[in-house]
Amino acid sequence: MLVKRCFASERRLPAKESEACGLFGVMDITGKRFGGEMAISAMKNIKVRGNGLGGGFAVYGLYPEYRDYYALHIMFQNKMAKEQVESYLVENFNIVYDEEIPTNPDVNLFCPPLVWRYFVAPKKKGEEQALSDDDFVVSRVMYINTSIEDACVFSSGKDMGVFKGVGFPEEIAAYFRLAELYAGYLWTAHSRFPTNTPGWWGGAHPFSILDWTVVHNGEISSYGTNRRFLEMHNYYCTLFTDTEVMAYAVDLLMRRQGLPIEVVSRIFAPPLWDLIEHMEEREKKLYSTLRMVYAPLLINGPFTVIVAHQNEMFGLTDRIRLRPITAGAKGDLVFLSSEEAAIRCVCPDLDLAWTPRGGEPVVVRQGSRDHLLSLPESV
């Protein structure tokens, strides 16, 4: 007789009904730099949206003194991985400065890896001189992440950086001493509630490639399709989690193909066909074309994301809004978050709070008031 054996799960995951990651982003549209207090307090406010299995922050305007160099943040599981990576880096980059990222040893986290940062300039040889610096860096990051065991590049942009790990976000912030050491003009933050994939240091959000970062709440059910399409463009998914495809898709569409956010958000979250039917002729043509050309990059399933890069961030939900988002504005500060309460707790006297339509991006740009363009269709 066959008896089905039951194995205890390797990681205990809670029942699904309470799943919900927490997102927060704040940007000063004049480019003024500020500390991490707002991002950290907001994440504390929405603590219950995560379960301590991942927290992280992305900061822009972080390394003004090295703004011309790519800042690589790399985590190593052991010394050997570090030696391997460093000999690879020396071959491919001029390293202008490197150091261990300062941490607070009094913060008790599970199994923190060794985390190091390198400020580098590409050292292109032979045929590769035809490549852009960005493409060169992407290829090297992909190499390390796919081919060197126990090492993971989790941040590779200029004048920005990602800090992340396993723990509640405020613990990660305390561990990396974010509030005391750093300032930036744009902060995004994430509290993780992993559902289908393991909670591990590399799998915490934000996900990044070059200076693109993504924080995400939801699950991407089109992951397989998206991933295969991205592999055709030399992006390889190595992090055991769905959000990764979003970071690479943004890099492909916005950096390499030069599409604006307003178009990219229609590729990720296009209107349903029967609503396209009722559009004006020009719009109908645009939306149908986008749906046909970029069908493999339609992101299906429930999601809210905050995507950021230099001088810009945008918030977007899936087209039928199965995950929440709220935007807020006060003077030059613009906020995006999963919950209005997280914004109000760091800025009680908001000028405006609004929720865009599903699939409609809230675009926050330095030196512009573009975020207000999403207002007319909001509630």
Partner 1 sequence: MNNLNVRFGLRDMFLDGVRPAAALIKYVNINGQSAEIDALDLKHKELNDLLRAVALQGISKVTVKNVFGQRYIGTRLYLPDPEKRLEIRISGNPGNDLGAFLNGHRIIVFGNAQDGVGNTMDDGEIIVHGRAGDIAAMSMRGGKIFIRDNVGYRAAIHMKEYPGKVPVLVIGGTAQDFFGEYMAGGIVILLGLTLKENEPHKAHYIGTGMHGGVIYLRGRVEEYQLGKEVGVRPLDDRDRAVVERYVGEFCAHFGLSAGKILQGEFRKLLPVSKRPYGKIYAY
Which residues in this chain contact partner 1 in the complex, by CB under 8 A?
A: 10-14, 45-48, 50-53, 77, 110-111, 113, 149-152, 166, 168, 198-202, 238, 240, 274-275, 277-278, 320-321, 324, 326, 339-342, 344-345, 353, 355, 357-358, 377, 379
Separation of alpha carbons 58 and 69, rounded Å = 17
Minimum CB separation from partner 1 for residue 263, in Å? 22
What count of residues does the chain have? 379
Minimum CB separation from partner 1 for residue 158, in Å? 25
E strands of 243-311, at which residues?
303-309
Separation of alpha carbons 91 and 136, rounded Å = 13
Minimum CB separation from partner 1 for residue 68, in Å? 30
Nearer to partner 1, 13 or 183 (CB): 13
Nearer to partner 1, 47 or 330 (CB): 47
Minimum CB separation from partner 1 for residue 37, in Å? 15
Q: Other CB atoms closer than 10 Å to residue 199's CB: what's the count?
A: 20
Minimum CB separation from partner 1 for residue 162, in Å? 16
Nearer to partner 1, 147 or 257 (CB): 147
Q: Which residues contact 185 (CB under 8 A, 6 or more apart)?
A: 27, 28, 31, 32, 33, 34, 60, 61, 366
DSSP letter at 356 equals P
Separation of alpha carbons 64 and 53, rounded Å = 31
Q: What is the strand order of the sheet 303-309 is part of? A: 207-209, 212-218, 303-309, 312-317, 362-365
Nearer to partner 1, 210 or 325 (CB): 325
Which of the residues are catalytic?
21
Nearer to partner 1, 135 or 150 (CB): 150
Host H or E run for residue 186: strand 186-191
DSSP letter at 327 equals E
